[in-house]
Structure 1
Amino acid sequence: MQPPPIGDITGYLRATGWTSTGHWRGAEVWSRDEFDVLVPPAAELPDSAARLRELTRCVADAERRAPAAVWRDLGRVRFDVIGYRGAEPTESVPAGLRAIQAMRDLLALSAREALGADGSADALLDRARIAVGDELFGVDLILPADDGRRTVLRLLHNCTAARRAADTGAAPDGVPEPVCLAVADLAGTGRACPFELAFRWSPLNPRPHEVVTFPAGAGVRIHAAAVAESATVTTAESATAVVAGPVTGLFDDAEGERRLIRVRGVLELDGTPTGRRRTVPVRLRTETDYERALAAHRDGRSVRAEGAVTDGRTRGIAAAPGGFTVLDHT
């Protein structure tokens, strides 16, 4: 394996509590507690390989980890990692292949949610990498943190919602059916086995690491809820949805949910009211529409949104072009 760039090594050391304390024979000295390591000025020097091996062993001792794991992480400094692990070291061939395909589907679906359908999602998938997990059956998806973070956050959001749904037996709000089915497919033979998804972030753009743990039977419940929900919304998928009322919330996170507002009103499908007034999620198409919604919320004015029905237990609207207007009355 090619050694990681020296800048990535120092970035890892800095992010994990090491401090630059001087130089010795051209190498930079980094220290942590009673440990000292030497970082060569360039990876191409004759003695750099030996120094990097020594550095890896010393960092492993300081962190009480295996040198192979440290070397792996030194090469992932600029990447976010999604780690899937089953409950056993091995899995049946059909269940194992289904789980690997499910991880690919989860990544692709989350990328398209986060980045849109302009080709950015496919470009990100081309840059992503996959690695086999150690000890337990599983794989790591490795994404560049610079333009992949939004997708990883969306995948984390979807999986967390699916985990909650496993306890309630209901399909998660706002999570498309294919995402739920993919999560369920990670649960091994019969979709009945426990598994976990670990989210580890680039040390150069750190966040607290997170683990979403799915107990035995969660996959069965998620799959059943998603299939049942699909049956209830199929007839509404081709309908035109409309809601009018005040804006009660707005969300526009550059690394997560984009241009989402909540409108309190009666959701109509092809002109037929679906129930009482409630909060309806509406995804806007443009920054201009979002700014108009923000102004309407500030001024206490009502809005009207028209478009296609979005997936999820709580039906919402994806506003059509020109389908968002601010009303003259409050």
Structure 2
Amino acid sequence: MNDALSTIDPDDLVGYLSSRGWRHEGSWRGAMVWRLDAMGEVLVPARREYPDDDELLEAAVRKLARCEERPEREVLLDIAEPAIDTPSFRLESEAPSGTIPLPSAVKAVQGIHDLLKIAAQTVESGPRLLFTGQRSRYVDNFLHGVRLGTTRPGSYIFDARVPITQPPSRSRAISWNDELAGRDVMIGLYKALHAAADAATAGAERHDPTDAFDDHLQDGVSANLCTALSELSGNRPFTVSFTWARAEPVDVTSHSVGFSAPMLRILGAAGKDLERLAKSGHATVIGEVETLQHAPGEQPRVKIRGEFRSRSNVFRRSIWVVLDPADYQRAFHAQIQKRRLRASGELDPNQGRLELRPDPGGFEVL
């Protein structure tokens, strides 16, 4: 550990202690005294100037690792890198502590890669029902900046270390402002995972479990995200937690999010269902008005719940239908009169909700 300690700046250690709730309580023989209730105290040199300063730093790191029940090298990384967000993926492995079967490890790494890629694509392009095609150079640059850490005792845990900002690209074709900020991607992933868990929990109580996901598409839930979650651990439960970079505090409650085996099965079905919907192409929905929406600066739209028919599938769904002002008024009166509507057109997979745009003459009141 001495080589790693030689690179630690006492100021970084002080910042780490402060972020973990330790308090500065004076000094002793030229070293700062930091205390945390029930954990005792550590001594930190104000700067490197005496032969025993490395010993004080080593003792402080050793005590932190023991208090936090983490390896010393992991604590050292967090001290030295204050601008790193860390999502941690805890898998339940049947292998001995700290190990995982090779096929499971490969599947988990691919799943983590896919989740980070989808989160970056969502930040770049906005929520979508389905992401298709190759990822952009900006998403590629983001992924190349992420480092995957080693496991810890107790189970199998992958730590993804994500810089909160991306360094400037060496390519002259890409400007600094075009790069994806890691913090934005992590906030997006955090929200999307919690939304997916909420949808899977709600889906367990419905006749059609996948129907629960429609209301969470704007939160970053997509067909791709659901599939990546369902395949990450081979339907074995896992938990994701987030540690936020102390260099840039975030106003987000760092609750971990867990996925049980039944939730993962629902997510797998939802991924397939949303992908089929996204690929529906030309379709027709027949049903009653569920919601009317006419926000300033946007086209009016109505949510119709009923039978959704594509060339190859039939769903019972709620679909947003974009209308012109005249047809919106007709839909408004149809809701009052409890009459059904029919809308035929293209379902747009590039939206963060199930949205259909009728063909010319493709909207009618029945």
C-alpha distance 145-262 of structure 1, shift in aligned 2 (>3 A): farther
Letter in 1 for 2:106: L
TM-score (norm 1): 0.67
Corresponding position: 1:8 with 2:27: no
The Cα shift of 1:313 comes to: 8.6
Letter in 2 for 1:183: L
Matches of 1:203 and 1:237, distance apart in 2: 49
Contact 1:114 1:154 in 2 (8 A): yes
Corresponding position: 1:186 with 2:186: no
The Cα shift of 1:179 comes to: 1.5
Paired residue total? 269
C-alpha distance 13-266 of structure 1, shift in aligned 2 (>3 A): closer
* Pairing partner for 1:57 from 62, 73, 79: 62
Matches of 1:178 and 1:314, distance apart in 2: 14
Contact 2:278 2:348 in 1 (8 A): no
Q: 1:225-267 deviations in whole A, cap 9, x for unaligned?
A: 21122123313399xxxxx96217x9xxxxxxxxxx8954479
Contact 2:85 2:245 in 1 (8 A): yes
The Cα shift of 1:276 comes to: 12
* Pairing partner for 1:158 from 162, 185, 192: 192
C-alpha distance 66-140 of structure 1, shift in aligned 2 (>3 A): closer
Q: 1:21-66 deviations in whole A, cap 9, x for unaligned?
A: 33445433323347332222446864333221111233346x4635
| Residues 1-330 of structure 1 aligned to structure 2 (within 5 Å) | 2=4, 3-33=7-37, 35-42=40-47, 46-60=51-65, 63=67, 65-66=69-70, 68=72, 70-88=75-93, 89=97, 90-116=99-125, 119-135=137-153, 136-146=155-165, 147-167=181-201, 168=203, 169-170=209-210, 172-173=213-214, 174=217, 175-188=221-234, 191=235, 193-204=236-247, 205-206=249-250, 207-236=252-281, 246-247=294-295, 264-265=301-302, 309-310=348-349, 314-316=353-355
Partner of 1:210, secondary structure, is coil
C-alpha distance 308-118 of structure 1, shift in aligned 2 (>3 A): farther
C-alpha distance 137-36 of structure 1, shift in aligned 2 (>3 A): closer
Partner of 2:266, secondary structure, is helix
Deviates most, 71-80 or 175-184: 71-80
Contact 1:266 1:276 in 2 (8 A): no
Q: 1:188-237 deviations in whole A, cap 9, x for unaligned?
A: 2xx3x111111121233144322111112332221122112212331339
The Cα shift of 1:106 comes to: 0.7
Unaligned runs of 5+ in 2: 126-134, 166-180, 204-208, 284-291, 305-315, 323-345, 357-366
Deviates most, 90-99 or 150-159: 90-99
Cα RMSD of the aligned pairs, angstroms, is: 3.9
Report the counterpart of residue 284 of structure 1 in structure 2: none
Partner of 1:223, secondary structure, is helix
CA radius of gyration, larger in: 2
Matches of 1:157 and 1:280, distance apart in 2: 26
Letter in 1 for 2:101: S
Letter in 2 for 1:103: I
Contact 2:280 2:347 in 1 (8 A): no
Report the counterpart of residue 258 of structure 1 in structure 2: none
Matches of 2:140 and 2:191, distance apart in 1: 20
Unaligned runs of 5+ in 1: 239-243, 251-260, 268-274, 282-306, 318-330
Partner of 1:80, secondary structure, is strand
Letter in 1 for 2:44: V
Letter in 2 for 1:126: H
